[in-house]
Structure 1
Amino acid sequence: MKNEELNKEQSFQEPSRRGFLKKGALALGAIHIIPSHVLFSKPEIRNKAGEIVQMASKVPSDRVNLACIGIGNRGEQVINDFDKTGLSNVVALCDVDMGAPHTTRIMEKHANAKRFKDFRALFDQNEVQFDAAVICTPDFSHFPITMHALKSGKPVYVEKPLARTFQENELLMQAAQKYGVVTQMGNQGHSEANSFQFKAWKDAGIIKDVTSIACHMNSRRRWHGWDTSMSTYPQAEPIPETLDWDLWLTTAEHHDFNKDFANGQWRCWYEFGMGALGDWGAHIMDSFHRYLDLGLPEEINAVKLDGHNPLFFPQATTLDFKFPKRNEMPAVTVTWYDGLENLPTLPEGYGVSELSADIPAAGTGQIEQRTLNPGKIIYSKELTFKGGSHGSTLSIIPEEAANDMKSSLPEVPKSSSNHFANFLLAVKGEEETRSPFEVTGPLSQVFSLGVLAQQMNTNLKFDRKKKVITNNKVANELLNGTPPRKGWEEYYKL
């Protein structure tokens, strides 16, 4: 579909400040007004006090109607994963590059879905009704779209990381609590075996007294091999006919279009992406961060930043995140390694490094098999564990120690649903999401702090209670990121 045809189908200019704020007020209200098509066949909905706030009428379909924002590349994979559950319908598709080669296939598959270029037009129209939003746009644009969904009272599934800056993560957690809608971040391994195993082993005392964890992701990244002396952004190139470049930028300051900003290349730049840490951290750190109650670190040390550049990510990074003692649990140092040859020291008896079958194909193909595949090594006072990424389970190493522990290992419950079905069932009121913003917001803030240390090439000290950086004034100001472009300020107000 050409731009002019799409614009006839969807008439929208600048977002209405009054309309946007009105949506937020209505979504909050004295009691939540929840549409019956969200409630499905449940006879009633109650508030936290147990009082009925609205009766629900039954609808003929038990499927959740989805509006999908960001439909190419990873977005296409996510939409297909929702399709596989058999629990959803795609009723709206939204992308700033609608009709480009990477969006055409999913448009053809869901030919009856209403099409939009501007997410604000999607949320502000009344023609197509949808129950939940699925957001798979570049990291930096997660925030405004997710905030709009929350203020509109829509359940929302957003790819990891939750947002780019520390403040944006904080605001999304506050908004999710304020508007009371179902939320899920797309770290799909948190609905698979690893998460359930970690909790069961911790509850049984198998995992205890953890003092250090090595996290490794050493596959090739898009910026590897770039000229590390680069001091300016790439020069302007012609904007593709199908692309609304100004809308692609959302809150970010203006940059002229270049192919090295779009279609996954955005991940290379501090201004747009979160590097290897934001891309893979949620798949490697999620279980131990949650069940060891790590919260926020008190120190982030830039141990190694090979090829540091203030515009794009290093060729290799080692970061130490230091977490203090929590109740009876000792202090923990989590070390992050990325870069092709930047490997942690392997403990004796490590064995084979397996590649998780849960890893989705990247835009450049399936993740490459390496000597050490993405994963983690967990050191406690008595035992050592190794694990992969996503849903991969942990193993006790060396093998002799694993054999000694076999009889004392607890039974691990099986997941009742994968990550996509879990979200849809939560929208229907049948389950609770496993990665709500209250859980994944602090994890994403860990990534934001790590990326700040990378960008500034420095060590940071962080006050966990006040949520401020205490040893670097500039870094502390950057917790908020750069100010949003004119016209986008309202998204930063609750």
Structure 2
Amino acid sequence: MNTRRDFIKKTTVGATGLTLMGTPSFGLANVLGANDKLRVAVIGVRSRAKAHVIAIYQDPNAEILYNCDVDDVIINEHNSWCQRNIGYVPKVEKDFRKILEDKDVDAVFIATPEHWHAPMAIMALQAGKHVYVEKPCSHNPYENDLLVAAQNKYGKKVQMGNQQRSAKTSIMAMTDIKNGVIGEVYKAEAYYSNNRGSIGKGAEISVPKTLDWELWQGPAPRESYRDNVHPYNWHWFRTWGTGEIHNNGTHEIDISRWALGVDLPETVTSFGGKYTYDDDWEFVDNQQVTYTFPGNKFITWTGHSRGMMKPERPGRGVTIYGSKGTIELSRNFYKLYDLGGNPIKFEFENSVSATTNTQGIGGLDVDHVKNFFNAIRKDESLHADINDASISTMLCHLGNFAQDAGHSLKIDIKTGKVLNNETVMNNWKREYEKGWEPKL
């Protein structure tokens, strides 16, 4: 990993500084002591933000100063939810840029559509804020490298929302793996199973008066508003989303990397297609991706977006194979077996976390946010620091690239760039709306 980080520092950090839309840099202001109050803003408050708010609320010395969303309907619902669940309603702001101007804000939590994740995180870093950004941390590989460069430049904490990195049972499993409990690890099978319905074929309609469609689109090229995009189905459109492999595969692919101790792959192969509904969904809805790594190690990811996986298994998880045994991991348990499949040890999380709904609320969010706050207050190591978390996001981008290419891709393990297909490399960077492109 150090090789790739060094590469990014040398090739993307320039002397001109990082600027986006003229956002000022406040340097390293608001340095906190170990017991100081943290004041935060939550941006994008429809679903995952509920998990963020509950986790933030568990810290008696943290306060949510702002709820931020471009949709008045969502804001009103969330304000009522906050009153019921945390006993107060933070200030409301539709334009996140005004929040970044507030020097009282120490950190921002970003749970917006994916096309906003990296640009908004970069702007927050420029404004002197720490950042908790939901996965995936980028809409394209170019943003991956840019966000890592921004974190290195501004020195603030950036945690990605791969909350299983903070699971006590997963941490225990990684310690056992390092101690050789299942011998030499060589393979990880990651999977996700859901049964999503049709999103239909959208019709162009007038933008709801309650929605700032211009700000919702932000850095993305402008499109007409249609009735099957907002507030959730943007996931399945390439202009704003990145498909199921990013929406959910990021979690289990990340855990697989962690278990095998690998970085970027040597090759990536993807099989799949759109097999169910005739609708506007622009990605595959069932997919199998295989990644190979130095040392004869490999990871597979199986994504069933539409149609439950059979024989029935939990909605998501990872199975790790070693020369002496096997480990099953999920957000809620760690199960160890010998080579004969006989159980040796089962460990469970104290608090259950949801696995397949859109909020994903549970104890892991509390632990992950606690780790983020401890990193800010006490310089504790982040469990999903963006320098490492971005590598898992890169694997997901490469999975989409391989699917689009229709053949196995050879990868530069230092940069993540594709060596044998110039066409898919055209998607390394997206087209940005004029005036919204993140730049160094």
Say whether the fold is shared (TM-score over 0.5): yes
Map Cα deviations across residues 27-60 of structure 1 (whole Å, 9 max, x no partner). Answer: 2xxxxx432xx413x5xxxxxxxxxxxxxxxxxx
Relative to structure 1, the CA distance from residue 95 to residue 420 in structure 2 (aligned partners, 3 Å threshold; closer, same or farther) is same
Shift of 1:378: 1.8
Task: Check whether the contact 1:190–1:391 (CA below 8 A) recurs between aligned residues.
Answer: no
Q: Take 2:411 and 2:281, find their aligned partners in 1: how far apart are those partners?
A: 23
Larger Rg: 1
Counterpart of 2:322?
Answer: 380
Is 1:91 aligned to 2:61, yes or no? no
Is 1:334 aligned to 2:300, yes or no? yes
Shift of 1:306: 4.0
Moved more, 175-184 or 188-197: 188-197
Is 1:237 aligned to 2:205, yes or no? yes
Percent identity (aligned): 24
Moved more, 243-252 or 449-458: 449-458
Moved more, 298-307 or 252-261: 298-307
SS in 2 for 1:259: coil
TM-score, with structure 2 as normaliser? 0.82
- Structure 2 unmatched runs, 5+: 1-17, 348-363
Relative to structure 1, the CA distance from residue 391 to residue 294 in structure 2 (aligned partners, 3 Å threshold; closer, same or farther) is farther
SS in 2 for 1:201: helix
**Aligned-partner residue type, residue 57 of structure 2:** D
Count of aligned positions: 401
SS in 2 for 1:215: strand
**Aligned-partner residue type, residue 124 of structure 1:** E
Task: Check whether the contact 1:191–1:391 (CA below 8 A) recurs between aligned residues.
Answer: no
Shift of 1:191: 0.8
Task: Check whether the contact 2:21–2:435 (CA below 8 A) recurs between aligned residues.
Answer: no
Counterpart of 1:46?
Answer: none
Relative to structure 1, the CA distance from residue 18 to residue 192 in structure 2 (aligned partners, 3 Å threshold; closer, same or farther) is closer
Task: Check whether the contact 1:310–1:456 (CA below 8 A) recurs between aligned residues.
Answer: no
Counterpart of 1:78?
Answer: 52
Counterpart of 2:268?
Answer: 300
Counterpart of 2:422?
Answer: 473
- Structure 1 unmatched runs, 5+: 1-16, 28-32, 43-60, 228-232, 347-369, 410-414
State which of 165, 175, 181 in structure 2 corresponds to 1:190: 165
**Aligned-partner residue type, residue 273 of structure 1:** G
Relative to structure 1, the CA distance from residue 421 to residue 155 in structure 2 (aligned partners, 3 Å threshold; closer, same or farther) is same
**Aligned-partner residue type, residue 74 of structure 1:** R
Map Cα deviations across residues 390-442 of structure 1 (whole Å, 9 max, x no partner). Answer: 25323325776434x89xx9xxxxx9x71111111222126322111012010
Counterpart of 1:205?
Answer: 180
State which of 367, 380, 385 in structure 2 corresponds to 1:436: 385
Q: Take 1:446 and 1:119, find their aligned partners in 2: how far apart are those partners?
A: 29
Shift of 1:188: 1.4
**Aligned-partner residue type, residue 34 of structure 1:** A
SS in 2 for 1:23: coil
**Aligned-partner residue type, residue 120 of structure 2:** I
Q: Take 2:380 and 2:396, find their aligned partners in 1: how far apart are those partners?
A: 28
Counterpart of 1:117?
Answer: 94
Q: How does 1:67-466 map to 2 (within 5 A)?
A: 67-100=41-74, 102-106=77-81, 108=83, 113-125=90-102, 129-221=104-196, 224-225=197-198, 234-307=202-275, 312-325=282-295, 330-340=296-306, 343=309, 370-388=312-330, 390-396=331-337, 401-403=342-344, 418-429=367-378, 431-466=380-415
Q: Take 1:182 and 1:311, find their aligned partners in 2: how far apart are those partners?
A: 35
Shift of 1:183: 1.4
Relative to structure 1, the CA distance from residue 379 to residue 196 in structure 2 (aligned partners, 3 Å threshold; closer, same or farther) is same
Counterpart of 1:230?
Answer: none
Shift of 1:99: 4.2
Relative to structure 1, the CA distance from residue 99 to residue 18 in structure 2 (aligned partners, 3 Å threshold; closer, same or farther) is same
**Aligned-partner residue type, residue 393 of structure 1:** Y
Q: Take 2:294 and 2:244, find their aligned partners in 1: how far apart are those partners?
A: 25
Task: Check whether the contact 2:99–2:105 (CA below 8 A) recurs between aligned residues.
Answer: no
Relative to structure 1, the CA distance from residue 208 to residue 312 in structure 2 (aligned partners, 3 Å threshold; closer, same or farther) is farther
**Aligned-partner residue type, residue 447 of structure 1:** C
Shift of 1:195: 2.9
Shift of 1:140: 1.4
Q: Take 2:321 and 2:181, find their aligned partners in 1: how far apart are those partners?
A: 12
Moved more, 427-436 or 143-152: 427-436
Shift of 1:466: 4.1
State which of 54, 57, 63 in structure 1 corresponds to 2:37: 63
Map Cα deviations across residues 65-120 of structure 1 (whole Å, 9 max, x no partner). Answer: 01111122221231122112323101122111134354342465676533211111
Q: Take 2:299 and 2:393, find their aligned partners in 1: how far apart are those partners?
A: 17
**Aligned-partner residue type, residue 318 of structure 2:** K
Q: Take 1:22 and 1:343, find their aligned partners in 2: how far apart are those partners?
A: 46
Task: Check whether the contact 2:249–2:303 (CA below 8 A) recurs between aligned residues.
Answer: no
Task: Check whether the contact 1:216–1:343 (CA below 8 A) recurs between aligned residues.
Answer: no
Relative to structure 1, the CA distance from residue 339 to residue 39 in structure 2 (aligned partners, 3 Å threshold; closer, same or farther) is closer
**Aligned-partner residue type, residue 208 of structure 2:** P
Map Cα deviations across residues 164-191 of structure 1 (whole Å, 9 max, x no partner). Answer: 2111111111111111111111111111
Relative to structure 1, the CA distance from residue 289 to residue 391 in structure 2 (aligned partners, 3 Å threshold; closer, same or farther) is farther
**Aligned-partner residue type, residue 135 of structure 1:** I
Counterpart of 2:361?
Answer: none
Relative to structure 1, the CA distance from residue 245 to residue 275 in structure 2 (aligned partners, 3 Å threshold; closer, same or farther) is same
SS in 1 for 2:334: coil
